[in-house]
Amino acid sequence: MLLTFVRSIFLYIIVLIVMRLMGKREIGQLQPFEFVISIMIADLASIPMTESGIPISNGIIPILGLLVMHLIISVLNMKSFKARELICGKTTILIYRGKINEKALEKERFTVNELQERLRIKNVFNIGDVEYAILETSGEVTIIQKPNKRNTIPEDFNIMPEYEGIPYDLVIDGKVMYDNLKSLGKDYNWLKKEAKKFGIKPEEALVITLDGNNQMFCQKKEGK
């Protein structure tokens, strides 16, 4: 029992390292070859994890082999456009200039109901509002609405918004993010002074953030 427990932890660490080396794509954004490799890694890890009679190397070596294959295919994708088309496929236009492409739907085995479902996921509830719908190689559907149906942006009214930048986490769950403070040219004493305005110490905060307009958000941790 203890051996199985230890083997499970060890294989979990190996699989976690391999998946991290493969990149940061979300599951829904995986290319077909990445999805296949992920499934195979899960199967290869499960066998030596539960069968103590099988050498653990029987799982680790094939997993490392799949990692090598992933890296090779990734390089081919970056270097060769033809290889990219062969391995990942091509994008397919499902709606072109407001008209549903029936041949494309049939080729990709998409029903109109499935297309409508994908549109609703993108907060588009009327198929007549869509100018283009593109099925990406990852399986995601990109929607471009008709000009008169798109959300307005400040540029439409000749308005130039102020620069916002990105908010920096300064404290998370009572832990001070010193690297972020350094990036902002600030130090702990400055943070302590700012947190005092909210009546707390930095270590007492659940979260403290600072945005590009120097607006600070602070929330104190609840007492246990």
Q: What is the mean pLDDT of the chain?
A: 83
Asked, colleague to colleague, whether 92-149 and 168-220 share their fold, the answer is: yes
Residue 90 CA to residue 107 CA, distance in Å, equals: 12
Residue 32 CA to residue 209 CA, distance in Å, equals: 38
CATH of 168-220, one of 3.30.499.10, 3.30.70.580, 3.30.240.20, 2.60.40.60: 3.30.240.20
Residue 104 CA to residue 109 CA, distance in Å, equals: 8
What single letter denotes the amino acid at residue 165? G
Assign 191 a pLDDT band (cuts: 50, 70, 90): very high
Could you tell me the fold of the domain covering 92-149? CRO Repressor (3.30.240)
Domain extent listing, the chain? 2-86, 92-149, 168-220
Q: Lowest-pLDDT range, 11-25, 46-60, 163-177?
A: 11-25
Model confidence over 171-186: pLDDT tens digits?
999 999 999 999 999 9
What is the arithmetic mean of pLDDT over 70-77?
Answer: 81
